[in-house]
Amino acid sequence: MKHFLCLALGLYAFFGSIAQSSKQVQWNYSVKKIADKTFEVHMSATISGGFHLYAQDAGGDGPLATTFTFSPNPLVVMNGKVKETGNLISKYESAWKHDVKYYEKSVDFVQVIKLKANARTDFAGKVEFMVCNDHSCLPPSEVEIKVNVGS
């Protein structure tokens, strides 16, 4: 019985800490048409609680960089890589023993896509990210992405 109780408490703490990471970052998705069958998919992060979110190129070994993985869709062609816009901070962090790149408060990640036909379809995937503050880091989180694009 003691082993079961310890296991249950450990799992509760583990899953509770994972949930904390995604609570520190609010993700919003939007689509902007920029040309015929061409769209910008905006994946905007609002970061709270004094935490910061690492860039896609976080800089060296250490923190988990923000990573986007998109689901295959035969109607969608990716146009380049995900770009990020925001106030990029590059700072030495003693925990990693080198400079790292991150965002505080907000950042907008943009993926340009082109549709192969005039149709409505889903653009889906996931974003994996990690947040830290001046004292600690929370476990990485993964959040689903799904937006409707097209005519």
Location of structure tokens 């935490």: 51
The arithmetic mean of pLDDT across residues 69-87, rounded, is 97
- Dihedral sign, Cα of residue 135, residue 45, residue 81, residue 145: positive
The count of domains in the chain is 1
* Helical ranges in the chain per DSSP H: 2-24
**Rounded Cα distance, 119 and 116, in Å:** 8
Task: Please indicate whether residue 52 or residue 11 has the higher confidence score (pLDDT).
Answer: 52
Say if residue 88's pLDDT is above 90.
yes
- Dihedral sign, Cα of residue 139, residue 21, residue 103, residue 132: negative
Question: Which CATH number is 19's domain given?
Answer: 2.60.40.1250
Say if residue 1's pLDDT is above 90.
no
Lowest mean pLDDT among 42-46, 47-51, 69-73: 47-51
pTM over 0.75: yes
The DSSP element (H or E) to which 35 belongs, if any, is: strand 25-35
Location of structure tokens 């109607």: 75
> What domain range is 86 assigned to?
2-150
**Rounded Cα distance, 57 and 34, in Å:** 26
* Amino acid (1-letter code) at residue 107: V
**Rounded Cα distance, 94 and 117, in Å:** 50
pLDDT in tens, 3-41: 433 333 343 344 444 445 668 999 999 999 999 999 999
**Rounded Cα distance, 108 and 46, in Å:** 9
Find all residues with CB under 8 Å of 117, minimum gap 6, and list them.
37, 75
